Amino acid sequence: MFEDDIHLGEHASQFLKTTDWIPQDIQIIKLEAFYSEIEVNKSTAINVEDNRKLYKLRSKHLGGAGYILSKNAAKILLEYIKFQNNLKPLDHLLFEDVVLMKLFQS
């Protein structure tokens, strides 16, 4: 999922043209980066296409300009939203409320 004003990094098409590189047990992958510092668990590094790595996030990292949801994550998110009384921005739902899923940062 991409916001309409996302700026994709160099060679993004090399790994976005297929999903073969995504480990089966990962539910959400954030594709964007802000310039604020974040905490990642370096011991969880997964090598993926184009010399990139995925790291499990250890801190809050809001923003929803680009991310990949598994089919299961989308189902969980939709079920979760159905029962919410207050609407929130999607990135808050994904990266604050539904952090029970394995969340990785590319």
CA–CA–CA angle 50, 16, 33 (5° rounding): 75
Specify the amino acid at residue 72.
N
Question: What is the chain's pLDDT, residue by residue, as a tens digit (106 residues)?
Answer: 787 778 777 778 877 888 888 888 888 887 776 666 777 878 888 888 777 888 877 766 666 678 888 888 888 888 888 888 888 887 777 777 665 455 544 4
| Pure H helices in the chain | 12-16, 71-82, 90-92
* Exposure on the CB side of residue 12, measured as CA atoms within 13 A: 11
List the chain domain ranges. Answer: 25-39+51-105
